[in-house]
A and B are shown apart, each in its own frame.
Chain A
Amino acid sequence: MNTKTILLVEDDPSDIDLTKRALAKGHILNNLVVASDGQEALDYLFGTGAYAGRDISDFPALTLMDLKLPKVSGLDVLRRIRAETVTRRMPVVILTSSREEQDIAAGYDLGVNSYIRKPVDFEQFVQSVVQLGLYWLVLNEDPPKVK
């Protein structure tokens, strides 16, 4: 279980820390990769920029991604993920503050696997993150790798 990587795409340092704290509180000890903007997330996923040379076939078991991101927006990142053969089956969960309908609709249209709204109440947030981890990392069967 520890071998599975979680990719967190989030620009708010407070949220990054809170998410890390929530994961820790939920005893989810998987490798956590944090990309603080959309471009960085793409670099990580497709082995470009700072992540050049990374084995891109090893994609994260779970990606938690905010929508509102610097450089490349969350929806654009998602579009890229679903457009690329290697990453198109990759589980992506949108974890965002927005409950705007158009955002939710756009996310699902682009093939997001889940859409979670971050509650203000931190205890609820922890609960959400724990359940997410449990579900995607433990219960859910990983998609087969695309050759």
Chain B
Amino acid sequence: MNREKLLKALPAIERYASTVLAVVCTLGLRLVLDPVLGDRAPFMFFILPIWVAKRLWGRGPGLLATLLGGISVWYFILEPGFSFAVKNRADAFNLAGYFVIGVGISFLGQVTTRPPASLAEDGKSSKFRVVRQTAVLAAAVLILAGMGLLLLRDFRRTQDAEGWVIHTYQVINSAESLRSLMVDAEAGQRDFLMTGDERFLAPYNSAVAALPRNLDELKGLTSDNPAQQARWNQINGIVDMRLAMLERGIEMRKASEVEQVNAALRSGQAEQSMNKLRSTLDAVMREERRLLVGRRAETELRASRGRWVLGLGSTVLIILLVFASVVIERETVRREEIAQALRRHADLLEQAHDSLFTWPLGGAIDYWSRGAETLYGYSREEAVGRSSHEFLQTSHPLGMAQVDFMLEREGQWKGELTQSTKDGRKLIVEGLWKLAVDAKGNKTVLEANRDITEHKRAEAENLLLATAIEQAAESVVITDRDAKIQYANPAFTRTTGYTHVEALGQNPRLLKSGQHDAQFYQELWATLAAGKLWRGEFTNRRKDGTLYMEEATVAPVRDASGEITNYIAIKSDITERKRGEEEVRLLNVELEQRVRARTEELETANRELEAFAHSVSHDLRAPLRGIDGWSLALLEDCGEHLDAQGQKYLERVRSEAQRMGRLIDDLLHLSRVSRAELVPSTIDLTALAETIIARLKEAHPGRCIEFVVAPQLQCTGDARLLEIALTNLLDNAVKFTGPRAAARIEFGTTECEGNPAFFVGDNGVGFDMAHAGMLFGPFQRLHKASEFPGTGIGLATVQRVIHRHGGHIWAEAQAGAGAKLYFTLGAGKR
């Protein structure tokens, strides 16, 4: 015990000195009380210093106290005092007993008790302890009372015996006094008889006066003893007779009858009577003395027995005392341990995460744990004294009355409740309530609530996730760290044919098809062991033996310490997809082949077209040039042989040849526009238009044309192609405004369906919109060649340029009221 350790920590010298002091004090006390106690209970007091020394200072001081106390009693208290002699065996026995007890106390082991594992369990044994303690106490009281009664009786008897001793001496005294009185009476009468002097009658007279009283006294003293009464009767008779004879002698002397007196004296009757009286008195005294001896022996016996009783009683009492002290010590230790356990429990309660609080049934909260403070946000001061249900807005689907009813009926209640925190948050708690009933029948509710709000939410979430996994189209397989299947969803069964039950505990190699080599699996496991995701495709085998392909993602799951605990595989059956992909791939291959073939064809055609264009430009033009050249040569050299008609025809030949040359040129132009590679750049259309207009003005010096060009027209496109297009458009406008005295040609921009559109407008002859469809076809003309010359390729070329820029071209016109050609250029498109 802590206390013991603390006290034993005193210096040894101090502990032993204290022991000696305690023994000396006890001895002093015992000596002071000696007149009262006599030789009774000589050792009782000395148990105390042993006990104290043992308890407070340890075993050594206990033994020292035993030794010193024993010696003290032995020397100072036991008869004979101030000597180590022992008068009787009882003392020796007591001394030995004392030493045994003293050593026993000193060696009394440390009282150890098993700490109660549970306070509730401890409560069960407490009844037994109470009974035991009461029994010990009752035994001690009974023994004390018995000892007291015995001692009281002995004391009374001893007192009686002493009364009898005195009685004996009184009887003897009375008998002696009787004899002496008789002697006095005899001597006084004889002296008178002899002298006749009446003065000698004084002793006789006083003796005669005292004798009856003396006789009465003796009679009273021996009234309890018939034998002595009989003797008294004899004595009384002798005394009466002698006194009568003495009186007669005196009267005779007085009457001077000396003869008769002498005769009486000589008769010796007096002598006989006295002897008889003496012997009878002696008998009385002898009898009394005999009785006295018997009574003395009885007193002695009683005293001895009293000592034994006292000694034995003391011993038993001491044993009881020791036992009681052990019990008390044990109880003290136990209480201390219970108190510690309670403190520990209290600390434990404070540490608990659960909210714990108590309230007397129907009353207000009287305990509020730290956990409750944390959970609800109310401090202890705020919570204590308030009514639990209202305070926390506790509610249960069936109503709180039902909960309270169940609690009272069953003694405890378990279930889920909703409660509110201080800041108004709703909580779902799992309550475990218990009704504690104390000895007085007071009922207290021990309310332990655990916050399961988060748990519930997580549970719902888990349910959601679990449902998602259950319903997923993909197979989901979860294994433990040893790759044993723990879970497989219905999709797994659908894919593989193995049921959930069949798959459990199996290794996923159950599905192995043998289509992958060992290295494939090694890489898979190496990736997972490194804590990484593995993605890939398996070819596996179904339960029915057919092969299928699946795309899998396998992920390791780690716990907080980073250890891999599970693997999760999510797999989708891609057999069909693979088949589809294979089909697509084959189609693609085929398509590619076809495209390649077609491209080759196109390239060939293109080459042929180029060759054609080349030959057109080169080979077709050469004969034309010949036709023209030789026609001219004919005119020049043989003109005189031809009449005007013939010369005119030759001129027609030449002009037709030249027209064909222009046609060829325009066709080549169109072909080049189609084939040329686009080189996009930012183009200032305004500047480009101005350049073209300058050229046109020069080409048509006689015309009066008003050109209106919008400023800062910009676009992105191929400069050369756009110049061709714009040239064609403006050239057309110039051509078709030919009949107008005041021609007006405008190049500008407008908005069309949110996009900028350029336009070239004129106030020329226009055209009927009914024919607008053929406007952009090659060799299509809306006007007679005689009115407006042209090859019909110009607008086709323009359209080709615009289309190649990803734009549109369209026209708005009215016959005789001018035309407007709009075009857009695809924004950034090629």
| Contact partners of A121 in chain B: CB under 8 A | 628, 654, 658, 661
The residues in B between 420 and 473 inclusive whose CB is less than 8 angstroms from any CB of A are none
Would you call B614 and A98 a contact (CB within 8 A)? Answer: yes
Q: With the chains together, A28 CA to B52 CA distance in Å?
A: 160
Would you call A14 and B629 a contact (CB within 8 A)? Answer: yes
Stretch among B201-209, B589-597, B617-625, B772-780 lining the A interface: B617-625
Q: Is B633 an interface residue (CB 8 A)?
A: yes
Within 8 Å by CB of B672, from A15, A18, A101, A125, lies A101
Would you call B657 and A120 a contact (CB within 8 A)? Answer: yes
Within 8 Å by CB of B622, from A14, A100, A123, lies A14
Q: Mark A114-133, 1 if CB is under 8 A from B, else 0.
A: 00001111110100000000
| Contact partners of B668 in chain A: CB under 8 A | 99
Q: With the chains together, A96 CA to B617 CA distance in Å?
A: 10
| Contact partners of B33 in chain A: CB under 8 A | none
Q: Is B626 an interface residue (CB 8 A)?
A: yes
Q: Mark B615-646, 1 if CB is under 8 A from A, else 0.
A: 00111011111101111110000000000000
> Which residue of A has the minimal Cβ distance to B659?
A120
Q: With the chains together, A136 CA to B179 CA distance in Å?
A: 216
**Chain A residues within 8 Å of chain B by Cβ, number:** 21
Would you call A100 and B625 a contact (CB within 8 A)? Answer: no
The residues in B between 596 and 624 inclusive whose CB is less than 8 angstroms from any CB of A are 613-614, 617-619, 621-624
Using known A-B contacts A14-B626, A97-B622, determine if residue A120 contacts B661 with beta carbons closer than 8 Å: yes
Q: Is B676 an interface residue (CB 8 A)?
A: yes
Q: Is A88 an interface residue (CB 8 A)?
A: no
Would you call A120 and B628 a contact (CB within 8 A)? Answer: yes
| Contact partners of A14 in chain B: CB under 8 A | 622-623, 625-626, 629-630
The residues in B between 387 and 439 inclusive whose CB is less than 8 angstroms from any CB of A are none
Q: Is A142 an interface residue (CB 8 A)?
A: no
Within 8 Å by CB of A21, from B629, B631, B661, lies B629
Q: With the chains together, A118 CA to B614 CA distance in Å?
A: 14
Would you call A122 and B632 a contact (CB within 8 A)? Answer: yes
Q: With the chains together, A100 CA to B617 CA distance in Å?
A: 8
The residues in A between 1 and 45 inclusive whose CB is less than 8 angstroms from any CB of B are 12, 14-15, 18, 21
Q: Is A80 an interface residue (CB 8 A)?
A: no
A138 → chain B closest CB, angstroms: 25
| Contact partners of A18 in chain B: CB under 8 A | 625-626, 629-630
B631 → chain A closest CB, angstroms: 8
Q: With the chains together, A18 CA to B668 CA distance in Å?
A: 24
> Which residue of A has the minimal Cβ distance to B628?
A122
| Contact partners of B624 in chain A: CB under 8 A | 120
Q: Is A68 an interface residue (CB 8 A)?
A: yes
Would you call B622 and A12 a contact (CB within 8 A)? Answer: yes
Q: With the chains together, A12 CA to B625 CA distance in Å?
A: 11
How many CB-defined contacts (below 8 Å) exist between A and B?
66
Q: With the chains together, A70 CA to B621 CA distance in Å?
A: 18
| Contact partners of A120 in chain B: CB under 8 A | 621, 624-625, 628, 657-658, 660-661
Q: With the chains together, A121 CA to B653 CA distance in Å?
A: 12
> Which residue of B has the minimal Cβ distance to A13?
B626
B41 → chain A closest CB, angstroms: 148
Pick the most buried of A21, A103, A121: most chain B CB atoms within 10 A of its CB.
A121
Within 8 Å by CB of B617, from A12, A21, A99, A125, lies A99
A123 → chain B closest CB, angstroms: 7
| Contact partners of A98 in chain B: CB under 8 A | 614, 617-618
A22 → chain B closest CB, angstroms: 8
Would you call A97 and B628 a contact (CB within 8 A)? Answer: no
| Contact partners of B622 in chain A: CB under 8 A | 12, 14-15, 97, 118
> Which residue of B has the minimal Cβ distance to A121?
B658
| Contact partners of A122 in chain B: CB under 8 A | 625, 628-629, 631-633
> Which residue of B has the minimal Cβ distance to A99?
B617
Would you call B625 and A119 a contact (CB within 8 A)? Answer: yes
| Contact partners of B626 in chain A: CB under 8 A | 12, 14-15, 18
Would you call B629 and A100 a contact (CB within 8 A)? Answer: no
Would you call A100 and B613 a contact (CB within 8 A)? Answer: yes
| Contact partners of A21 in chain B: CB under 8 A | 629, 633
Q: With the chains together, A40 CA to B581 CA distance in Å?
A: 63
Would you call A118 and B613 a contact (CB within 8 A)? Answer: no
Q: With the chains together, A17 CA to B408 CA distance in Å?
A: 135
> Which residue of A has the minimal Cβ distance to B665?
A99
Would you call A123 and B632 a contact (CB within 8 A)? Answer: yes
B330 → chain A closest CB, angstroms: 122
| Contact partners of A99 in chain B: CB under 8 A | 617, 665, 668
Q: With the chains together, A12 CA to B665 CA distance in Å?
A: 21
| Contact partners of A123 in chain B: CB under 8 A | 632
B660 → chain A closest CB, angstroms: 8
A23 → chain B closest CB, angstroms: 13
Q: With the chains together, A119 CA to B632 CA distance in Å?
A: 14
| Contact partners of B629 in chain A: CB under 8 A | 14, 18, 21, 122, 125
Given contacts A18-B629, A119-B625, A122-B629, 11 further A-B contacts (CB under 8 A): A14-B626, A14-B630, A97-B617, A99-B617, A100-B613, A120-B621, A120-B625, A120-B657, A120-B658, A122-B628, A125-B625
Question: Which chain B residues have a beta carbon within 8 Å of chain A's beta carbons?
Answer: 613-614, 617-619, 621-626, 628-633, 654, 657-658, 660-661, 665, 668, 672, 676
Between-chain CB contacts (< 8 Å), 25 pairs: A12-B626, A14-B623, A15-B622, A15-B625, A18-B626, A18-B629, A67-B618, A68-B614, A68-B619, A97-B618, A97-B621, A98-B614, A99-B617, A100-B613, A100-B617, A101-B672, A119-B625, A120-B657, A120-B661, A121-B628, A121-B654, A121-B661, A122-B628, A122-B632, A123-B632
Which A-B residue pairs are the 9 nearest by beta carbons? A120-B661, A122-B629, A14-B626, A97-B618, A97-B621, A18-B629, A98-B618, A120-B624, A122-B628
